[in-house]
Chains A and B, each alone.
Chain A
Amino acid sequence: KAGVTQTPRYLIKTRGQQVTLSCSPISGHRSVSWYQQTPGQGLQFLFEYFSETQRNKGNFPGRFSGRQFSNSRSEMNVSTLELGDSALYLCASSPAPPNTEAFFGQGTRLTVV
């Protein structure tokens, strides 16, 4: 069974640009969550989608947005990039939370210069 696939693996962007990251969950999983990981803040929850609906959102500015498609694939977008957005962005998929295990993709390493 294929795992969670995130693309691209690495990105370098300039301040002020926008970026779109993609996540394909494990087949059959309907929930996709996004996290930001930085050395200083650790893993922080961005948002979660289930059946194309955003069910929960973390404490991030409106520049961070996402969506989920009918095939459960998800994208997140960051507009007007700032240097502080440099981080590892992780996607996790679950069968049907709550209380179910979440499996992470390999992540997208975003560097903003």
Chain B
Amino acid sequence: QKEVEQNSGPLSVPEGAIASLNCTYSDRVSQSFFWYRQYSGKSPELIMSIYSNGDKEDGRFTAQLNKASQYVSLLIRDSQPSDSATYLCAVGTYNQGGKLIFGQGTELSVKP
């Protein structure tokens, strides 16, 4: 079992729709959770961080964390073609210092 799993996609949504990206993790002591966006040929860009159960909203982005289910998700409302990218889920654990474990990423395509 991979430590952090994401559906590879591609996930295709029409412009203006809600895109839902999911991630599961295997280590129960994981404490920090991040979503990165990576455009083709570019480096990952941090878009959301979440540490506690529940929802965290930032503009069109909402991160959701459920530690009991070991599940974290990212919702993108009013999706735009510029949101088309690969979204990486990353998980950190307290006793691992700054080490982040990344999922393989979900490719999102927003069609005009």
| Interchain CB contact under 8 A, B49 and A55 | no
- A98-B31, A104-B44, A104-B45 in contact; A42/B94 too (CB < 8 A)? no
List chain A residues, Cβ under 8 A from B96. Answer: 56, 98
| Interchain CB contact under 8 A, A98 and B32 | yes
- A42-B105, A98-B31, A99-B31 in contact; A48/B46 too (CB < 8 A)? no
Assess whether A22 is interfacial by the CB under 8 Å rule.
no
How many A-B pairs fall under 8 Å by CB? 73
* A interface, CB within 8 angstroms of B: 31, 33, 35, 42-45, 48, 50, 55-56, 58, 88, 90, 92, 94, 97-107
Which of B45, B98, B103 makes the CB contact (< 8 A) with A31? B98
Which of B95, B97, B103 makes the CB contact (< 8 A) with A48? B97
| Chain A contact surface mostly | strand
- Chain B, interface size category, equals 20 to 34
Contact string, B21-64, partner A, CB cutoff 8 A, digits 1/0? 00000000001101010000011111001010000000000000
* B interface, CB within 8 angstroms of A: 31-32, 34, 36, 42-46, 49, 51, 88, 90, 92-105
A102-B99 Cα distance, complex, nearest whole Å:
10
- A98-B92, A98-B93, A99-B51 in contact; A33/B100 too (CB < 8 A)? yes
| Interchain CB contact under 8 A, A103 and B46 | yes
| Interchain CB contact under 8 A, A102 and B46 | yes
28 A–B contacts from the bound complex (CB under 8 Å)? A31-B98, A33-B99, A33-B100, A42-B102, A42-B105, A44-B102, A50-B98, A56-B96, A56-B97, A56-B99, A58-B99, A94-B98, A97-B98, A98-B32, A98-B92, A98-B95, A98-B97, A98-B98, A99-B32, A99-B92, A102-B90, A102-B98, A103-B46, A104-B36, A104-B43, A104-B45, A106-B42, A107-B43
